[in-house]
Amino acid sequence: MPKPDPKPPRLRLRIYFEADFMLGPGKAELLERIRDTGSISAAGRQMDMSYKRAWMLVEEMNKAFTQPVVSSARGGSGGGGAHLTEAGEEVLRRYRAAEAALRAATVEDVSALQAMLRSSAVSDVSDGK
């Protein structure tokens, strides 16, 4: 019986800025889900993240950038909601563009590294530790 194709390698981009701020795949996904759902709490739920954690990450991003990336309105009779600001849309677009550029720039080297792996390397390693 033929072996199933291994999962392709993944690259995860984390950008560490001064002042202890990091932008990575989790925050980018949160921004996308806020954009798609119109809600910070719904975005957090989709990511199995607590409401408090989602709000904390939004506040962290809003404080880190010169302009807020997410705008929100409190709930109530008229309902609340959240949306990405123009700055938020640009942050998300530029992060995704950097990810795509990283993948394109490293495809040859990552493929060569994968080819150098033992066929049993995936089962020999425990969670990358």
The SS3 call for residue 2 is coil
Is 5 within a domain?
A: no
pLDDT of residue 23: 97
Kindly report, residue by residue over 53-68, the tens digit of the pLDDT.
999 999 999 999 999 9
Q: Mean pLDDT throughout 22-44?
A: 97
Is 10 within a domain?
A: no
The SS3 call for residue 73 is strand
- Does the predicted TM-score (pTM) go above 0.85? no
CB atoms within 10 A of CB 61: 20
Q: What is the CATH number of the domain that holds 100?
A: 1.10.10.10
Q: Domain range holding 100? A: 16-124
The count of structural domains within the chain is 1
Who's near 86: CB < 8 A, 6+ residues apart? 67
